[in-house]
Structure 1
Amino acid sequence: MADILLIILSAIFGIMVIVASVYFLIYYQHPQDKWVAWLPKVVVVSGLTLSALNVFVLPLDVANQNGRIAASGGIPMAELTLALNLTSVFLFLVGVPFTMFYYEGADDSDESDEKKKSSPSQVGYALKWLIPTLIFTGGIVGVMYWQLGYAEIEVTRLTGQLTKGFDINVDYCAPVAGVAVCTRQVGYRYPQVSWIVYTVALIGLIGWVVFAIFGGAGLIAIPVDMIQDFQHRPKPITSAEYAERKKAIGQQAELLIEVGKNLQEELKVASRGGSRMNRRFRQLRTKENEFRKDTLILEFHYRRLESSYKAQGGNILLQYLGFVGGCFSAVISVIWIIHIALFLLPTMFGATPYSLFLNEFFANVSPVPFIGTAFYAIFTFYLLLCVVKGNSKLGMRIVFITIHPLRLGETMMNSLLFNVGVILVSSLSVSQFCTLAFSRYAKYTASGYLFGVQIQKLKNMQYVYVGFVCAFLGVAGAMIGWIIYKPRSKQRENRMNFKW
C-alpha cells in the first residue's frame, strides 16, 4: 500500500525545488537578460531542478524502503531514479549545448557581418554544432554498449548430492572416504544491462571526472578561501591611498582595453579562414581565455578598492558570517575525508570498514522528521558547491578552462548555462558517490541496486570508480600542497601582474 503522506511530502518538496531554482535565476541573472532569453532560462531552471532531485532521490528512496527488502512506501523508485537520470543526460547532451550555441549565435549575429554567418538563423547555428556532437557521442555510446554493455557479477555455485525429503542434518556435507560431497565454485555471470542504464553510466563518467578534479580542489579551496577572505578583508583607506591605487588600476585597464581590441580583430580574421577548428583560431581562443581571466582579476581589485574607500571596508557582519561559514565548511570537509578513509575506501576494496561513521549518524537522525534530510542536504550539496568552487579555482591556473563566475545580479546567461551544465552532470556522480558512501544507510534501495549492482559492476568498470574516489582525495591533497607552496600573496587572482 502506498504511503500517501510520503507521496504528498515528495510532491511539496518538488515544488519547493522548482521555486528555489526560479529564485536562483532571478537573483543571479544580469539586468540585460531580464524579460528576454526565455529558452535559456527554462533550461537553467530545469537543470537546477533536476540536479537537486538527483541528489535528493536517495533519502526519498530510503524513506520509501524503510529498511526493508520490500518497499513499504509504494513509490516505484527504480523507475523514478532512472527517469530522472535519463532526463538529466538528455538535458546535458542536448538542452544545455543547444541553448549555449543558440545564445552564442545571437551574439555572433550582433557582432559579425552576414558573410561570416553560415546559418540563416540562431536555430540553424545551434544545430550546426549540436548535431555533429550528438552523432559522435551516440556513435561512441553505441559501439561501447555493443561491446561492453553487460555487467560482470561474481556468483558462487554450490553443488551436493540429492537427498530424500527436506530434512538435512549437519553431516550432509561431511566428506565420505576422504572425498568431498559438496563443492563450492566461484564464477561470474554476465547479464546484459539496458541501453538506458549504460548511457546513464557512460555519461555519468564525465560527471565523475568533473567531480574528482574540481570537487577535490573545492573541498580544500572553500574553507581556505573563506577564512583567508576574512583575514585579508578590505580595510578603510584614505583618499590619497584611494587615488594612488585607482590610478594604478586605470593604467592596467587601459592596457587590457588595447589588448582586447587587438584580440577581437585577430579573432575576426582567424574565423574568416573557414573553420573554427584551425590551429590559429584555437590559439587565439586560449589567449582570449587568459584575457578574460585578467579582466576578472582587475575587476576584483577595483571592487575591493571601492569597498575599502567608499564603504570603509564593507559590512563587518557579513565578513564575520563568512568567517563562520569558512570554519563550518572546514568541519564538513574534514568529516568527508574521514568518512571516505574509514568507510568508503575499505568497502570499495572489499575489506571491512573501520567505522560506519556517517551511515550510523544518518540512521540515528532519520527517524526525526526533516532532520535527517537536512543533514543529508548539507553534506551532498556541499559536494556540488565544491565542484563549482573547484572549477573557478583551477580555472585561474589551467589555460584551456574558461571562467564563468557566478555573481549576484551580474551573471550573464551563458555563464549560468555553463555552470548549470557542470552542476547537472556532477549531480549524477554525486548521487552515485553518496550511494556508495552511505551504502549501509541506503540498504535495499533502488539507487543501491541501480548503481551498486548494474552500473558499478559493468565490464571493465569495477575499478574505475575506485580510481575516481582515490583521485578525489589525491586532488584534495595536491590542493593543500599547492596552497602551502603558493600562499595567497603569490596566487594569480590576488596580483595585478598582467603579461601582455
Structure 2
Amino acid sequence: MGDFNLALVIVAIILCVIVFVFNVYLLVNYQHPDDKNQAYFPKFVVVLGLSVAAISILMLPADVANRQACRHAIYNGACNLTLPMKDMWLAIYILDAVLVFFIIPFAMFYYEGDQDKSVGKRIRSALLWVVVTAIVCALVLGILYGLVGKVDFTVRHLSSSTTSFPSSWSFSSSQECISGSHQCSAYSASDSSEKTWTMRTTFPEYVVALATIVGSVLFTIFGGVGIACLPLGLIFSFVRRPKAVITRSQYIKEATELGKKAKELKKAADALHQEERSGSKGRKWRKNVKAVEKELLQLEEDVKLLEEVYPQGEKAETTWAMTVLGYLAKLVLGILGLIVSVAWIAHIIIYLLISPPLSPFLNEVFIKLDDIWGLLGTVAFAFFCFYLLLAVIAGAMMLGMKLVFITIHPMKWGATLMNSFLFNVGLILLCSISVIQFCSTAFAYYAQATAAQEIFGHTLQSLRGIRYLYKYNVFQIAFIVLAGLTFVYYAAFGWRRKKPSGRFQLSS
C-alpha cells in the first residue's frame, strides 16, 4: 500500500515539472518579439498562472487516485504517504484567487503603464489601481456576505417507535420493516416533516462560492461554445483547406492587394497615434482603434493563407507536404474530439439533467477501466476534465473573434503581447475552478468520498440565492443549449472557405 502511494507522490511531482516546462515553452513561442528579454515579472505571472490552472485540473484525478490508494484501509489515516488533498485544494484556491484578483491585475497595470515613467512610478500607479479594485471588491463582498451569506439546508425530521427484537429477519422491496410491525416512521416520513436549517457560512467559503459562480457563468458560455467549436473547428479547417498551390501570377495579384491593405492600415494607425498624442481620444477614436486591430488580425490570417497556397524557398515541396499532413492531423484530432464532445453532452443529459439518472455512463466507464489497470480509469478521467478546460479556451477564442460585445485579447503564435497573455491566463484561472466543480458534479459517482466533493458538496449548492441555480440545473441547461447552437452554426457556415478581406476604411 505504501509503495502505491509513494508512486502517486512521484507521479504528481513529475507532472508538475512537465506542466511548468510546457508552459515556459508556450510563453517563449507565443510572446511578441517586442517583449523578448524584458517584462520578466509579467512572464513569471503567466507561467505561474498557467501552471496553477493546469495543476488544479489534474488535482481532481489525483484526488481520486489518492482515495483509491486507501480503498482497502479501514480509514484513510491508516495509509502511509497519501497526499493531503484538502490542504492542497485550499492552497490552490487561495493562490488562484490571489492571482486573479491581485497579482494579474497588478501585472497588467504595470505592463500597460506609461513607458516614459520610472519603474517606481509605474509600480505605485499599478498598486493604486489594485488597491482601489480590492476596496471595491471587498465592499461588495462584505455587503453580500452580511445580507445573504447563509446556507439553507433542507433536512427531514425522522423518528420511529420501538418494537421487540425479532426472532427472524424478513426484508423485501415491498416490506422494508421488521417482521409485520410496520414500525417504520423513519422510513416513511412525510414531506411535511421537512424543515430548513439555516446557518451562516464562513467568509472564505462565501468568497470561493461567489468566485465559482462568476467562473460558472464564464464557463457555461465559453465551455458550451467550445465543446462544439473545438472539434468542429478542426474538422472544418480540413474541409476548407487549400486543395492545391496557386500559380505565380495569382500569388502576385493577391500579394499586391494585401500590400495595398497593409499600407492603408499603416496610414490609419499613424493617424490614430497622432490623435492619441494630441489628446483627442473619444468614442470615435476607440471605435477606430478596435477596427484597425480587427483588420490587422484579418490581414495576418490572409497572409498566412497566401503563404500556405504558395510555399516558397528551396524546400517548397516539403513545406506543402507538411501543410497537407497538418490538415490531415486536424481531421483526425477533430474526429476524436467530436467523439469526446458528444460523450460529454450525452453524459450531462443522461446523468445530470434527467432525475433520477438513466445511467452512470462515463462514471461506469472509468470504474471498468480501473478494473483493467489501476490508473487507467483515472487517466481517462483526467483526459475528460482537461478536455473541458481546452473547450473553455477554444470557446473564449471564438467568441472574442466573432462577437462585438465581448473583447478577448487574441493569442497569436509569436505575436502575443504580455497584456493579452495575462488577460487570458486570468480568464483560464477563473474558469478552472468552475471546471473542477462541474467535473466533480458530473462524475460524482466516480469521484465520491474525495476532498473535492466535500468542498463542492452541499455548502456551495445550499447558499442562499445561489442554490436555485444548481437546483434547477441552470448552468447545465445553458451549456447544452449553447453547444447545440454552436453545432447549428458550424453546420450552416462552417464549410465556407475564408477569402482575403477587401479594402479597409475608418469611420469618419
Q: TM-score range by the shorter chain?
A: 0.7 to 0.9
Give me the whole-angstrom Cα distance separating, in 2, the residues matched to 1:141 and 1:342: 36
Cα distance in 1 for residues equivalent to 2:187 and 2:482: 53
Q: How does 1:427-442 map to 2 (within 5 A)?
A: 427-442=432-447
Matched, 1:356 2:357: no
Alignment size in residue pairs: 476
- Are 2:490 and 1:483 aligned? yes
Partner of residue 288, structure 1: 289
Q: Distance in 1 between matches of 2:10 and 2:165?
A: 51
Task: Identify the residue that residue 133 of structure 2 maps to in structure 1.
Answer: 133
Render the CA deviation track for 1:165-194: whole Å, top value 9, x for unaligned.
99995566649xxx9999651112223322
- Give, in angstroms, the shift of residue 441 of structure 1: 0.3
241-250 vs 54-63, which moves further: 54-63
**Residues 245 and 180 of structure 1: is their aligned pair in 2 closer, same or farther, counting only changes over 3 Å?**
closer
Give the one of 437, 456, 461 matched to 1:456. 461
SS in 2 for 1:236: coil
Q: 2:271 aligns with which of 223, 245, 262?
A: 262
Partners in 2 of 1:381 and 1:7 — Cα distance? 20
Alpha-carbon distance in 2 for matches of 1:410, 1:225: 22
Residues 245-271 of structure 1 show CA distances to partners (whole Å, capped at 9, x for unaligned) of 011112222222222223333344457
Between 423-432 and 196-205, the greater mean CA deviation after superposition: 196-205
How many angstroms apart in 2 are the aligned matches of 1:208 and 1:31?
35
Contact 1:152 1:459 in 2 (8 A): yes
Q: Cα deviation per residue 1:49-95 (whole Å; 9 max; x = unaligned)? A: 11112112211221222285943654332222122112101111111
Q: SS of the residue aligned with 2:37? A: coil
Q: CA deviation at 1:459?
A: 1.4
RMSD: 3.0
The CA distance in 1 between the partners of 2:66 and 2:109, in whole Å, is: 41
- Tell me, yes or no, if the aligned pair for 1:289 and 1:402 is still in contact at 8 Å: no
Contact residue 160 and residue 183 of structure 2 kept, 8 A: no
Alpha-carbon shift at residue 199 of structure 1 (Å):
0.9
Provide the rounded CA distance (Å) in 2 between the counterparts of 1:173 and 1:494. Answer: 79
**Residue aligned with 1:190, SS:** strand
Q: Does 1:330 align with 2:330?
A: no
Give, in angstroms, the shift of residue 499 of structure 1.
5.2
Query: Which residue of structure 1 aligns with residue 52 of structure 2?
Result: 50
DSSP-derived class of the 2:456 partner = helix
The answer on whether the counterparts of 2:340 and 2:384 sit within 8 Å (CA) in structure 1 is yes
Tell whether the 8 Å contact from 1:173 to 1:182 is kept in structure 2 after alignment.
Answer: no
Q: Shift of the alpha carbon at 1:353?
A: 0.6
What amino acid is the match of 1:471?
A
Aligned twin of 1:193: 201
- Asked if the contact 1:173/1:181 (under 8 Å) is kept, the reply is no
| Corresponding residue for residue 95 of structure 1 | 103
User: Any idea what SS the aligned residue of 1:315 has?
Assistant: helix
Deviations 1:365-400 (A, max 9, x none): 235254334322322222222222212211222224
Structure 1 stretch 460-469 or stretch 481-490: which is displaced more? 481-490
- In structure 1, distance between residues paired with 2:246 and 2:309: 6
Alpha-carbon distance in 1 for matches of 2:7, 2:151: 37
Matches within 5 A, 1:174-253: 174=183, 185-234=193-242, 235-253=244-262
In structure 1, the partner of 2:476 is 469
| Contact in 2 for aligned 1:161/1:181 (Cα 8 Å) | no
Choose from 7, 10, 31 the match for 2:9: 7
Q: Of residues 48, 62, 79 in structure 1, which corresponds to 2:64?
A: 62
Aligned to 1:446: 451
Q: Deviations over 1:184-242 (max 9, x none)?
A: 51112223322212111111222112111111111221222212222222331111001
Which amino acid in the other structure matches residue 365 of structure 2? Answer: F
Corresponding residue for residue 171 of structure 2: none
How far apart, CA to CA, are the structure 2 residues paired with 1:285 and 1:374? 47
Q: Is the 8 A contact 1:29 1:413 kept in 2?
A: yes
Gaps in structure 2 of 5+ consecutive residues: 168-176
Tell me, yes or no, if the aligned pair for 2:236 and 2:494 is still in contact at 8 Å: no
CA distance in structure 1 between the aligned counterparts of 2:398 and 2:209, rounded to whole angstroms: 28
Instruction: State the one-letter code of the partner of 1:334.
Output: V
Distance, in Å, in 1 between the alignment partners of 2:385 and 2:280 is 43
Q: Which moved more, 1:477-486 or 1:84-93?
A: 477-486
Distance 2:277 2:414 in 1: 31
Aligned-pair identity in percent equals 35
Is 1:82 matched with 2:90? yes
| Post-superposition CA distance 1:433-472 (Å, at most 9, x none) | 1001100000111211211221122112123242122111
- Hey, what's the Cα distance between the residues in 1 that align with 2:291 and 2:375? 45
Query: CA separation in 2, counterparts of 1:220 and 1:180?
Result: 47
1:27 partner amino acid: N
User: Who is 1:321 aligned against?
Assistant: 329
Q: What CA distance in whole angstroms lies between the structure 1 residues aligned with 2:289 and 2:378? A: 44
Mark the CA change 1:198 to 1:255 in structure 2 (over 3 Å): closer, same or farther: same
Mapping 1:276-315, distance limit 5 Å: 280-281=282-283, 284-311=285-312, 313=320, 315=323
Q: Name the CA distance, whole Å, in 1 between partners of 2:166 and 2:440.
A: 40
Amino acid at match of 1:365: L
- TM-aligned CA deviation for residue 319 of structure 1: 1.9
Corresponding residue SS for 2:410: coil
**SS of residue paired to 2:157:** strand
Tell me whether 429-438 or 138-147 shows the greater mean CA deviation.
Answer: 138-147
Which residues of structure 1 form unaligned runs of 5+? Answer: 273-279
How far apart are the structure 2 equivalents of 1:326 and 1:471? 24
Match of 1:402 among 396, 404, 407: 407
DSSP 3-state at the match of 2:412: coil
